[in-house]
Structures are given as C-alpha cells and as structure tokens.
Chain A
Amino acid sequence: MELQWPLIVFTILVAWSAGLFASQCLVAIAGGAELSEKSGKSQMIAWVVSAVLLVAGGVAVLFHLEHWERIFNGFGNVTSGITQELVAIVVLVIVAIIYLAQMRRAENGVPGKAICVIGIVASIALVGIMAHSYLMAARPAWNSIAWVLYVLGNACVLGPCTMLLAMLAARDSGTSSARLIALVGSVLAVATAVAYAVVLQGAASSIVTIGYYSDPTMVAFPMTDVPSVFAGQSFLIWLGAVVVGTLVPLGCVLAARFKKDARSHAVLYALAVLGAVVGAVSMRVAFYTLGLGLFVF
C-alpha cells in the first residue's frame, strides 16, 4: 500500500517519546546514590523533550486524518486500535503530569518510585497498543507480534540514548545506570529488528494470489508481482532497518563505554539516535510497501 508518512512519523515519535519517558523513570528508580541535583535538571530536560515529541507525534497524525475536525464525533468504538491508542495516550499524559508535579516538589527534582513504575508501565502499554493497532489479518506482513516487539525495540534504543544526551546537557554525571539501560535497550532493538525482518520477508507466502489474471477496467495497471515486491525491500530492511537502525546504535553505545570525555559521548549517543531514527523510517517504509492485502489483485 501507499506510504502513510503521517503514521510513519507518528509511530516513531510516540515510540521515541514513550521510550524517553520510560528511560527517565528507570534512571530515577535505578539511579540510587548517583542521583544529585543535576539529576533533577536532566529529568526536567528529558520530560520536556518527551512531551515535545509526543505533541509533535500528535500533530503529525492529524495530517493522516481527512476529517480531523470530526475527531470529537466519536471514538466510542473500543475495538478500534485508534480508540485504544487515544486512551493510552491520555493515560500517559496524566501519568506524565503527575510525574512533573512530583519532580517539582522533590528536593532533588527526582520523583518517587511508585510514579516511576507507573510511568514505565504506561509507556510500554502505549507503544504496545499503538503497534498492536496495525495487526490485521488482512495484511499478512503486518499481522505478527514481532511487529509490536520491533516498535518496543525502537523505544528501547531511542529512549535511553536520548536520556543520556539529556544527562550530558545537564552535566549530570550519574550515568552508569542509564548507560546500562542503553546497552540492554540496544541489544533488545537488534533482536527485535532481526526477528521482525525475518517475519516481514516471510509474509510473502501468506498472500493469496489467483494465478494469471487481469483487470479489464484498468488494463494499464500492472499486476502485483508479490515475490519481486518483497525481494525489492530486502536492502531497506537489512541495511536500513537492521544495520543502520540497530547495529550502528549498539556499536555507538558500546564505543561510548570506552570513552571518557563528554564530547565523544555526545557524538556517539547522537549518532545512535540518528541511526535508530533512520532505521525506524526504513522499516516503516518496507512495512507499508509490503503491507499488501491478503487477497492481492
């Protein structure tokens, strides 16, 4: 199907935003003795960036709606993925506002552990629900839990690396827990990207074709050659989404462990984020291109 750029941007920004919010929650929990007044500043930077990403994602998705002015008409159908997404976003916004209030009230600017745990759960739920809304039996390439895990993998690498950049910006030196979270997140991103890449390429066999056929009403339209459509996306999936999108960030996170200076860290984590974004775009382009209907003609 055609590339849906507003949805591509929306799903990346929401995964990024939720991943960053979950990362700051994790750092707040795992920081322990490392937490200082600087932590409060890095927490605030991360919170603001996460909020900006979420708002930008929300604006992007409006461009997908042909009649966005009607969104207040309904959203009452709970079986709809869009309705579920909206509920999950509202829940995360409420949690994030409580988190902000606790940040403001805490002496060191770091909120209590309870709201952090709730924040992590709400973030995972939002990304999972958002990705789940694309699981449709009508589109074999989409209809896999591996897609949900892949989008969660996006959040696992984008969030911690951005959190580390926020900590660098705040000159917050207590980064050991954040670096460990980034390393684990990057490994998860590689595993989930490889898993979905395999599933995506294997979906071609699930598409029903009807042998030789033509459409007499649209004779100039070429018939869909399913194997060649899938083969044409291999480069984007493996080089773009897997290598650039996950192996480059993992390499950057690993390399940062051997560097001491903040400048190198900033460059490496920025490179990791950039690679992850490029990879996320690449996979989504392949996702839509290979999102052929079950019954193709």
Chain B
Amino acid sequence: MTQYAILTDLSKCVGCLACSVACKVVNDVPLGSYWNKVLRVGPNPRTEGGQWPDVYMYFLTIQCQHCKEPECVKVCPTGATHKLEDGTVQVDKVKCIGCQFCVMACPYGVRYLNESERVVEKCTLCEQKIAQGELPQCVSQCGGRARWFGDVEAGIENFEGPGNNPDDRSYDGMSSYRVRLGDATGEGPDFPVKPYEDSEVHYLPDAGNKPSFMYILRGEKWQGGEN
C-alpha cells in the first residue's frame, strides 16, 4: 500500500518559512491559520547547564503527519475525514459537520476550524498536485532543499526533491525534474545531502497514530520524545 509522506532534513533547513508561505499561497489558507508551520526549537544546551556557544538550534516544520493509523479518521462521525489509497488523510468538506472532534483527537494541533466555511481543514499534502505527479508545494519551494516527498513503502532513499535539469532549462523541464534522495546523499561537494544514520531519522511523538512524516537531525539531540 502506498503511504505518501514528507521527509524534512532539519540539518539543512534554514528556517526561511518558504514552505509556510508557498503552502498558504497555493492552498488559499486563511489569514492567521497555517497548514504548515515552522517552529524554532532552541537554543537548547548541548550539555546540561551549557551556555553559549555550547548550544544548538533547529527549525521544525509541523503539519498534518498523514498518519498510518490516524485518530482523526477514527473519531469523525460522518466519514468526512478519510484516508485515501495513497495514504494521505483528507477532509471532505461537504460531509464535515464541524464537530471538531478530529481537532481534539490530533496529537499535533495541525487541524483548525475554518471560520468562514465552518468546517475543519488542514494540510492535504497538495493532493491536487501529487495526484498528477507534481511535488507538494512546500517541497518544490523549499529554499534549502531540505524537504523530500515520496512513498514510505518504497523506502526513503526513493524520496524525491526538485532539481536542476541540465538538459532542459525550460519551465516545464525544470519543474518536472526530480532528484532522488538516495542519489543526492553522500560525502563531498557533489552531494547536497550528507549521510545520516537510521538513529538520526525521527518522528513526532506517536500516540498510537503512527505518524508517517520523518525528520533527519544529525549530531544533535532531538527534542520532543522518541518513538
């Protein structure tokens, strides 16, 4: 079964907020609400009681984690919140009665009530784009090329990001070009992604919902619990 997800390389994220802005533009997210937020985590001390410069910081992107066993789907009385065959969790706004139990059941606070439509909404993983082979907007617009999109079942080395097409400099040629995470990972200047250990791949806290999004953080302590 397909399970689409995003992997964010926190060691590469520069906190430019391009993902948040791009998401709002392409999905018409209301003022004051976000489908994709960026937290600045830290500065936290590397060792207990540590002071600057013995501190570290990273940017953490928070959005719907398109969980494998989403609690929001279980609590929705009308089936408005549902899981598609591609593994993404979607909201059928016509069915939503606005009970907001999905908002309560989500461990990550990424759902909200759209005040004008009076229904709950959240990140769709740009279903309108990925269904036709494009990348989610937050991935294609990532300033640090820290975000990668793909099917978890196919392995994260097969996740894809935007790339520089050496053979076709047209808009279509550039926008359709893809770089595999596995091909981009290695030591040296030819590889934009540095190697990582399995222990450096993290998830947000799991309340039994099995979040599918992943975060790579190299050499620093992941804040916020482990699975």
- In the assembled complex, B219 has its CB within 8 A of some CB on chain A: no
Q: B180-216 CB contact bits vs A (8 Å, 1 = yes)?
A: 0000000000000000000000001101110000000
Q: Which of A68, A82, A210, A214 contacts B77 (CB 8 A)?
A: A82
The segment out of B5-13, B33-41, B125-133, B143-151 that lies at the interface is B33-41
Q: How far, in whole Å, are A75 and B74 apart by their CA atoms in the complex?
A: 12
Q: A130-159 CB contact bits vs B (8 Å, 1 = yes)?
A: 000110111100000000000000000000
Minimum CB–CB distance from B27 to chain A (whole Å) comes to: 15
Q: How far, in whole Å, are A215 and B39 apart by their CA atoms in the complex?
A: 5
A297:B109 contact, CB within 8 angstroms: yes
- In the assembled complex, A80 has its CB within 8 A of some CB on chain B: yes
Interface of B is mostly: loop
- In the assembled complex, B50 has its CB within 8 A of some CB on chain A: no
B42:A213 contact, CB within 8 angstroms: yes
- In the assembled complex, A211 has its CB within 8 A of some CB on chain B: yes
Tell me the A44-99 residues at the B interface (CB within 8 Å).
64-68, 70-71, 73-77, 79-83, 86
Q: Known: A67-B97, A70-B97. Contact between A75 and B223, CB under 8 A?
A: no
Q: Which residues of B contact A210 (CB under 8 A)?
A: 39, 41, 60, 223-224
Q: Which of A79, A208, A217, A296 has the most CB of B within 10 A?
A: A217
- How many chain A residues sit at the interface, stated as a range, is 35 or more
Q: B83-116 CB contact bits vs A (8 Å, 1 = yes)?
A: 0000000000011111111001111110001000
Q: Known: A295-B107, A297-B109. Contact between A67 and B207, CB under 8 A?
A: no
B78:A73 contact, CB within 8 angstroms: yes
Q: Known: A66-B113, A212-B43, A217-B20. Contact between A137 and B37, CB under 8 A?
A: no
- In the assembled complex, B79 has its CB within 8 A of some CB on chain A: yes
Q: Which residues of A contact B107 (CB under 8 A)?
A: 137-138, 293-295
Q: How far, in whole Å, are A296 and B39 apart by their CA atoms in the complex?
A: 11
Q: How far, in whole Å, are A207 and B40 apart by their CA atoms in the complex?
A: 19
Q: How far, in whole Å, are A76 and B76 apart by their CA atoms in the complex?
A: 9
Q: How far, in whole Å, are A297 and B15 apart by their CA atoms in the complex?
A: 17
A214:B207 contact, CB within 8 angstroms: no
Q: How far, in whole Å, are A77 and B94 apart by their CA atoms in the complex?
A: 16
Q: Which residues of A contact B75 (CB under 8 A)?
A: 79-82, 133, 136
Q: Which residues of B contact A75 (CB under 8 A)?
A: 77-78
- In the assembled complex, A227 has its CB within 8 A of some CB on chain B: no
B207:A216 contact, CB within 8 angstroms: no
Provide a sorted-by-A list of 13 A–B residue pairs whose CB atoms are within 8 angstroms.
Answer: A65-B98, A66-B98, A73-B78, A74-B95, A74-B97, A76-B79, A80-B77, A137-B208, A138-B207, A209-B224, A210-B39, A217-B17, A295-B108
The 9 closest A-B pairs by CB, nearest first: A66-B98, A74-B78, A137-B207, A66-B118, A138-B107, A82-B77, A210-B223, A80-B77, A210-B224
